[in-house]
């Protein structure tokens, strides 16, 4: 059953449509990510669910109640932003306790909840520290604890990790996901980082130009991008037209149109029903255990990811035969 429902939501700013006839259902306990390039409308969509922006058309339901005209504070929704927005004159304990005090909860109960929340975000021992004494990652842990401790029906997170260094971001992605799963909180996360979306989400809603391009499990979207935009945005696909493929494979494909091929779908050994390609290596980029080769075959450029091998024998100028399973050539709509 749907916990959050968006019904034909429409929004424009200064005559420009920013969100177009959006329909979406989110289940209780799901972590859904709004993913898309800058300006695609993901923050606006999130802010409409929070009640900070009013849609011109359509309705929003949370837990069976129409909240379209309900003020933000009465929606039972929590929010975490990119900037930590902690109270600078309160220490960690007081920041986390703030929402519970406002609810007039009994002191002993507040203490228990705050201490266990501080432990959950890994800040035990820092209760008395003030925000300016904490790193960016630690401050965002406090912001997360402060939003989660009041047990919102839904927690909305707008690029909460974007300001942090890569390694700290990865740690906080894991923390966010584990808190969400442990407490069963319904969360919606806005990000423009496809790797982040792949790692944390139950479901990705891919947006472009105010419209939903694709909606599905990260793995399904990755393996079966619906459109050229999805293929390019998720996972560095090669997007090629039927003419390019005829040139690459020396064979005619059934239908015209655009096709997507994952860089890691190329293999150096044959297996199953395959196409063979003879290509020349143009450039080599070592990405870690994977090496991304820029290749060209009869003037058609493409990239192929192969596992790092001690003796691959491949360098710029090398000629190589690659194989690709027929099922890995994905037609796009």
Phi, psi of 68 (to 5 degrees): -50, -40
- Residue in 98, 185, 102 with CA at minimum distance from that of residue 146: 98
Please report which helix (H) or strand (E) contains residue 305, including its range: strand 300-307
Q: Please report, as ranges, the residues that interact with ligand ATP according to CB under 6 A.
A: 13-14, 18, 36, 38-44, 192
Question: Smallest gap, in angstroms, from Cβ of residue 209 to ligand ATP?
Answer: 9
Q: Which CB sits closer to ligand ATP, 13 or 87?
A: 13
Contact between 88 and 146 under an 8 Å Cβ cutoff? The reply is: no
Nearest CB to ligand ATP, comparing residues 95 and 208: 208
Report the alpha-carbon distance of residue 44 to residue 300 in Å, rounded: 40
Minimum CB distance to ligand ATP smaller for 59 or for 209: 209
Q: Which residues lie below 8 Å from residue 281, measured CB to CB, with a gap of 6+?
A: 293, 294, 295, 314, 315, 316, 317, 318, 319, 320
CB of 316 to ligand ATP, least distance (A): 37
Q: How far is the CB of 38 from ligand ATP (least distance, A)?
A: 3
Q: Which residue, 232 or 246, is less far from ligand ATP as judged by CB?
A: 232
User: Residue 274 Cβ, how far from ligand ATP at the closest point, in Å?
Assistant: 40
Residue sitting closest to ligand ATP (CB): 43
* Alpha carbon distance 226, 222 (integer Å): 10
Q: How far is the CB of 164 from ligand ATP (least distance, A)?
A: 16
Q: Give the nearer residue to ligand ATP in terms of CB position, either 40 or 155.
A: 40
Find, among 32, 54, 59, the residue nearest to 44 by Cα. 54
């Amino acid at each position: 059953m749907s916990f959050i429902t968006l019904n034909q939501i429409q929004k424009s700013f200064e005559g420009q449509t920013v969100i177009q006839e959006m329909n979406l259902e989110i289940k209780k306990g799901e972590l859904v990510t709004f993913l898309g390039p800058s300006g695609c409308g993901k923050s606006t969509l999130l802010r409409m669910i929070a009640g900070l922006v009013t849609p011109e058309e359509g309705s929003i339901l949370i837990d069976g109640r129409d909240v379209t005209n309900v003020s933000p504070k009465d929606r039972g929704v929590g929010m975490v932003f990119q900037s930590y927005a902690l109270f600078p004159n309160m220490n960690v304990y007081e920041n986390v306790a703030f929402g519970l005090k406002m609810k007039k909860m009994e002191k002993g109960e507040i203490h228990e909840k705050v201490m266990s929340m501080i432990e959950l975000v890994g800040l035990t021992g820092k209760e008395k520290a003030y925000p300016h004494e904490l790193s960016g990652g630690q401050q965002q842990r406090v912001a997360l604890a402060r939003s989660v401790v009041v047990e919102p029906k839904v927690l909305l997170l707008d690029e909460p990790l974007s300001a942090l260094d890569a390694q700290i971001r990865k740690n906080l992605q894991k923390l966010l996901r584990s808190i969400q799963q442990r407490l069963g909180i319904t969360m919606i996360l806005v990000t423009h980082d496809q790797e982040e979306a792949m790692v944390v989400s139950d479901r990705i809603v891919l947006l472009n130009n105010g419209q939903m391009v694709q909606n599905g499990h990260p793995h399904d979207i990755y393996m079966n991008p619906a459109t050229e935009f999805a293929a390019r945005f998720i996972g560095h696909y090669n997007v090629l037209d039927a003419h390019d493929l005829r040139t690459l494979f020396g064979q005619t494909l059934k239908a015209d149109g655009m096709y997507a091929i994952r860089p890691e779908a190329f293999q150096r050994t044959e297996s199953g029903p395959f196409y063979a390609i003879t290509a020349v290596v143009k450039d080599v980029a070592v990405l870690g255990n994977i090496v991304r080769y820029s290749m060209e075959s009869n003037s058609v450029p493409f990239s192929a990811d192969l596992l790092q091998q001690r003796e691959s024998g491949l360098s710029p100028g090398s000629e190589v035969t690659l194989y690709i399973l027929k099922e890995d050539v994905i037609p796009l709509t």
